[in-house]
């Protein structure tokens, strides 16, 4: 009994399917590890990234409970989001940064420009899409956010 030869396309589809399954399994393991880290007792000093994630989530919940205009500082939320993204090795576009902080696009752009002017972020054009720019935190921003997070933890 002869078998039909596997074509290159079929082989590639098989590899893609295998990679997707592997990525899903890895994502599940990483989510479990992240949940365990995030569930450390609140009174303990935790790594700045874990504390940043907790702080970001609590600020978003506060926005839902009290309202964004009461407990909102878009520039700080942007720096916090960029700090988290940097440590997760995730790129952030201008539009997704504005969206993540619930700032209207025009307001968000003003805050990004202010952060850029102050030396906290740098902007890079996307070579694949001329409509998109990437925003990255500078060393000044990363060091400042890290120091502030540690101070906030010490203050309780």
- Topology of the domain comprising 40-155: Arc Repressor Mutant, subunit A (1.10.10)
Could you tell me which residue, 130 or 32, shows the higher pLDDT? 130
Read off the tokens for 150. 């540690």
Read off the tokens for 13. 């589809």
CA-based radius of gyration for the chain:
20
Q: Quickly state the pLDDT bin for 38 (edges 50, 70, 90).
A: low
Closest CA to 152 of 37, 57, 72, 45: 45
33 pLDDT above the threshold of 80: no
Q: Where are the domains of the chain?
A: 1-39, 40-155
13 pLDDT above the threshold of 80: no
60 pLDDT above the threshold of 90: no
1 pLDDT above the threshold of 70: no
Read off the tokens for 135. 């925003």
Q: Please give the average per-residue pLDDT across 118-144, as a whole number.
A: 91
Phi-psi region of 102 (alpha: psi -120 to 50; beta: other; left: phi over 0): left
In percent, the amount of the chain with pLDDT more than 90 equals: 24
Q: Quickly state the pLDDT bin for 135 (edges 50, 70, 90).
A: very high
Q: What pLDDT digit, counting tens, does each position of 70-111 carry?
A: 556 788 889 989 998 999 899 999 988 888 777 788 888 999
In percent, the amount of the chain with pLDDT more than 70 equals: 60
Read off the tokens for 119. 């030396």
43 pLDDT above the threshold of 60: no
Cβ atoms within 10 Å of 53's Cβ, excluding its own: 20
Q: Please give the average per-residue pLDDT across 114-138, as a whole number.
A: 91
Q: Quickly state the pLDDT bin for 114 (edges 50, 70, 90).
A: very high
Q: What is the pLDDT of residue 141?
A: 93
């Amino acid at each position: 009994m002869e078998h039909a030869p596997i074509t290159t396309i079929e082989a590639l589809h098989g590899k893609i399917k295998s990679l997707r399954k592997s990525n899903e399994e890895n994502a599940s393991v990483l989510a479990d590890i992240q949940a365990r880290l995030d569930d450390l007792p609140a009174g303990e000093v935790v790594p700045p990234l874990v504390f940043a994630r907790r702080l970001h989530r609590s600020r978003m919940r506060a926005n839902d409970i009290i309202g964004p205009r009461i407990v909102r500082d878009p520039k700080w939320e942007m720096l916090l989001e960029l700090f988290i993204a940097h440590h997760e090795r995730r790129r952030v576009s201008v539009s997704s940064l504005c969206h993540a902080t619930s700032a209207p696009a025009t307001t968000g752009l003003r805050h990004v420009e202010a952060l850029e002017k102050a030396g906290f972020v740098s902007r890079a054009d996307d070579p694949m899409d001329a409509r998109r720019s990437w925003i990255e935190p500078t060393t000044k921003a990363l060091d400042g956010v890290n120091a502030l997070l540690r101070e906030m933890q010490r203050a309780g």
